[in-house]
Amino acid sequence: MITGSLVALITPMKSDGSIDKQKLDELVEYHVAAGTHGIVAVGTTGESATLTYDEHANVIRQVVQKVNGRIPVIAGTGANSTHEAIDLTQRAKEAGADACLLVVPYYNRPTQEGLFLHFKAIAEAVDIPQILYNVPGRTACDMSNETVLRLTSIPNIVGIKDATGDLERAKELINAVPETFAVYSGDDPTAVGLMLLGGKGNISVTANVAPSQVAKAAELAIAGDAEAAHEVDAGIKGLHKSLFVEPNPIPVKWAAAQLGLCENAIRLPLTPLSEQYFAEVSAALDAAGVSK
């Protein structure tokens, strides 16, 4: 089972919008050195929505090759078309990913039965560990706990990223799923709370710029040390908030650029962080003890 701080990795780009392969390699080394427990490549934070199929597969392959088995690599391969999700998942398997992260289909708003059949079809088509991803604030479709529980019967569906921020709901799910099924947080402000309830990790945006702190908080929370986990988390609480002043990954890419980790480049229709937020994000970086 994959556990701990799993960074939702940004995809570094150059000013012309092309992927910065050198910076991508450097980011991998940065996270391995900082103690990040795993990398999620080409998820929402990695701008999966605006990468081409080939770029998507190539970024996953490059991350896998650079990691070289040192920590797990989870590939974002979800889509609102079941056929496309199967194709992306197959490519991730061929690239050597350890697992795949599959978001609830967005925009077309399937029924709960449609969700069950969608994820069942992907799992049956591609033999790789698969993690569900429920983020109704982005997808306009909320997968119920009941549907998740149905999906736990499929052997290679091994976990879920819960980005609802609802700890009562997460608690109910954690208490209901098999011990072999992992519930991960996808919401940095409530991640420590979810892990203290029995969650197995945090798929984190904040970890892009404060990897060692997020990793330490995850280790402590999973070990059940609530006081110490909350103490570490308190130091990065401002980042949890400021990295969402505009839609993710706009703020975190700006923050990463301030640390010299990448250029402040992002693909349309997303735009660089508005100047009115520079001071707030910068102050959160300073408060977290993060500097270039």
Which has the closest alpha carbon to 145: 168, 117, 128? 168
Concerning whether 53 is annotated as a catalytic residue, the answer is no
Q: Which residues contact 179 (CB under 8 A, 6 or more apart)?
A: none
- 45 in a known ligand binding site: yes
- 203 in a known ligand binding site: yes
Question: Per-residue b/e over 213-250, b at no fewer than 16 CB within 10 Å?
Answer: bbbbbbbbbbeeeeeebbebbebbbbbbbbbbbbebbb
Concerning whether 161 is annotated as a catalytic residue, the answer is yes
Token pair 């819960």: residue: 162
| Active-site residue identified among 66, 93, 161, 216 | 161
Query: Max Cα separation, the chain?
Result: 48
Contact 280, 244 (CB under 8 A): no
Tell me the two tokens of residue 151: 């999906």
| Active-site residue identified among 23, 66, 133, 253 | 133
Active site residues: 133, 161
Residues marked as binding?
Answer: 45, 203
Residues marked as binding for pyruvate?
Answer: 45, 203
